[in-house]
Amino acid sequence: MSNLSLVCDFCWRHCTLLEGQSGVCRVRKHVQGKLVTTTYGQVESMAVDPIEKKPLYHYYPGSQTFSFALFGCNLACQFCQNHTLSQGEPRTSLANERVEPSKIVALARENGCHSISYTYSEPLVWQDYMLDVATLAKKAGMQNVMVSNGSFSRDALKRLLPVIDAFNLDLKGDEAFYKEVCKGQQQVVLDAIETIAKTKAHLEVTTMLIESMHTKECVQTLGKQLHARGVQVWHLSRFFPRYKMTYLKATSESYLTEMVALAKQSGIPYIYSGNSEVERTTFCPSCHALLIDERNHSGSAFDHGRCAHCGTAIYGVFE
């Protein structure tokens, strides 16, 4: 066996792997002197979703997106809502089970989808397949959406920015929360958010609030961090007991409402409730006119990305 080690640059971990070793994600492996994604093309889940489910509320609202996932993740969040797709061990991939990238694009077009979303698990760990699909999708005139935990390596972000049109990144909590609950690093995510916010790509951020863990002070700090990095859209969503945190209670609607009100003091213009009964509505941040109602219907105050009442440009891509 060769003593040669290879470094994976798919995420911030930069796992150094000897022959036969797999990375933290359990997907990237050193095989005969090469790093391979062992689950390449092995699609575990696919569906046609409203774009709002990603969640993206300011990116072609009302459109449908073709969503899919391969197995794997580079974090170990104890509350993972999709742990069957992200944790444990991947299935052994057989060549005849693999879906060619062109097939994903064809399925998206057949289903009348405006975009393809790389979602459900963590697409960073299968980014070679994502890049192959995304490149074909761009050639076909489609949009690419990445839903990610945001723990990019610098090289990965450089590779992805030219083909990904919209991102929804998780900001899960403070540094202590990342270390104790997710086995990750907050600063890596903040750096990615800051980088993406300076590009032409669309960006929205999501934080799932655990009532017993995300304090008022935490939400205030996260709001300041995001606002300082130019984030325009922030989703605060309710936690439901999953995976290794089934002993906790679901976050209450009242607590979410309180935290959303607190978050609005951050200066971020568009803040929404997620996993909630609260209606999703978009208001002009300047004059507070109703722009888009909960059924994704644009009101008379919304005109080609601007508020018709005061002329304020609304962040996002709407047509």
Q: Is 222 helix (H, G, I), strand (E, B) or coil?
A: helix
- C-alpha–C-alpha distance, residues 29 and 33, integer Å: 10
Minimal CA–CA distance to 74: which of 146, 21, 161, 152?
A: 152
Q: Delineate the domains of the chain, giving CATH numbers in brackets.
A: 41-278 (3.20.20.70), 281-312 (no CATH)
Identity of the amino acid at 109: R
pLDDT one-digit tens code per residue, 60-85: 999 999 999 999 999 999 999 899 89
pLDDT one-digit tens code per residue, 246-290: 999 999 999 999 999 999 999 999 999 999 988 889 999 999 999
Which residues 6+ apart lie within 8 Å of 14 measured at CB?
7, 8, 153
Minimal CA–CA distance to 203: which of 237, 244, 171, 239?
A: 171
Residue 64, burial from CB neighbour count under 10 angstroms (0-12, 13-18, 19+):
middle
> What pTM was computed for the model?
0.96
